[in-house]
Homo-oligomer: A and B are copies of this chain.
Amino acid sequence: MDANPILAEVVRGNWVENRHRGAFIVVDAEGAVIASGGDVERPVFPRSAIKSMQALAIFDRHALDRFHHSAEELALACASHHGEDEHVSGVAQFLDRMGLSVADLECGAHMPTNGKAREALRAVGADPSALHNNCSGKHSGMLSVALAMGVPTAGYVTREHDVQKAVRAAVEYVIGEDLTEDRCGTDGCSIPTWAAPLRTWALGFARMATGRGLDAGHAAGAQKLFDAATSHPHLVAGTGHLDTLVMEAFKGRVMQKGGAEGVQCGAIRDKGWGYALKCDDGNMAASHAMVAALLTKYADPDDAQKAVLEQFARQATKNVRGAVVGELRAVGV
């Protein structure tokens, strides 16, 4: 296997300390390659980067017709949220509106991603609940699919459950490829994750951004999801996070979503392009630098947008006393 190119490096003083390799691709909805680097045919787990794609099952299975999800609920269904008040209360209401509760979530509990939210929990000596799990909005969306399908919600996270079959079918439809059992794993929140070539994830995002290559129902669903996410960027991630800041800055032009282990996917909506990248070693900060460089180069940022991207394309490294001793920076995108 050929090595992917170095797409980010960490400098300390005047010497490179770390190197992060990866692959990236930008494509249009017909699959024409705008730019790429590295092995874009290697199947990668998209993890949380394709939550918006998974959420298409809400439309496929007529959950929207039954529950009339608000834009906020759709944004939460696409989210890796930070467990801040807005996220926790949003998901709690989403569940309540369906006659469900936190007890129906099968994602497990973890401490909020947001530091202040963690401190607030610690201050009152409370344990986190499944509502704080960054995936609780996605799981609520999946529960709406179960209810709309009239199947038991219990076990909705398993590969064999009708909900996950619906999610898998929606993703396969959008990327135009089968997801296969020989490259399947379990995600952090217990649902299946399927590896597919990086190229196909970018293509799926281009299709969702344009509706091209999709039937009218999927095209409309995709637009609703991207509109929801890009108009509620704080619900999709949280305070200070790249996804939130980028979507705020681009005011609807860019749908951006990270996934665990260095995956970044999204769409430059006005150009009709989808993109996907994966840092080979799974480093999230490096993947942030890479996607910031990609958007700087291909999303025609204005000065304000450039300034937001620059925060991530070059990240200062500080020592214990707070002095800047180096930086993580994108190279080669």
Contact = CB atoms under 8 A, between A and B. Distances in A.
Interface of A: 3, 10, 12-15, 17-21, 43-45, 106-110, 122, 133, 182-190, 193, 195, 261-262, 280-283, 286, 319-323, 325-326
Given A17-B45, A107-B320, A189-B320, A282 B10 contact: yes
Given A108-B321, A122-B122, A281 B19 contact: yes
Given A19-B281, A21-B21, A283-B281, A14 B185 contact: yes
A156 to B, nearest CB: 14
A137 to B, nearest CB: 15
B325 A186 contact: yes
Mostly, the A contact residues are loop
B45 A21 contact: no
Contacts of A326: 185-186
Contacts of A281: 18-21, 280-281, 283, 286
A161 B41 CA distance: 53
Given A21-B21, A190-B320, A190-B321, A14 B183 contact: yes
A319 B109 CA distance: 10
Nearest to A106: B321
Number of copies of this chain that the complex holds: 2
Contact of A184 (B15, B21, B182, B190): B15
A57 B195 CA distance: 52
Given A281-B281, A281-B283, A189 B319 contact: yes
8 contacts: A10-B282, A14-B183, A14-B184, A17-B45, A20-B281, A133-B320, A185-B326, A186-B325
Contacts of A15: 43, 45, 182-185, 195
A20 B319 CA distance: 25
Given A18-B282, A282-B18, A186 B13 contact: yes
B320 A186 contact: no
Q: Which 3 A-B pairs have the closest CB atoms?
A: A13-B185, A3-B3, A108-B320
Nearest to A185: B13
Contacts of A321: 106-108, 190
B13 A184 contact: yes
Nearest to A322: B108
A195 to B, nearest CB: 5
Contacts of A325: 185-188
A181 B161 CA distance: 61
- Pick from A18, A106, A193, A261 the residue with the most CB of B within 10 Å: A18
Contacts of A21: 3, 21, 281
Contact of A185 (B17, B182, B195, B286): B17
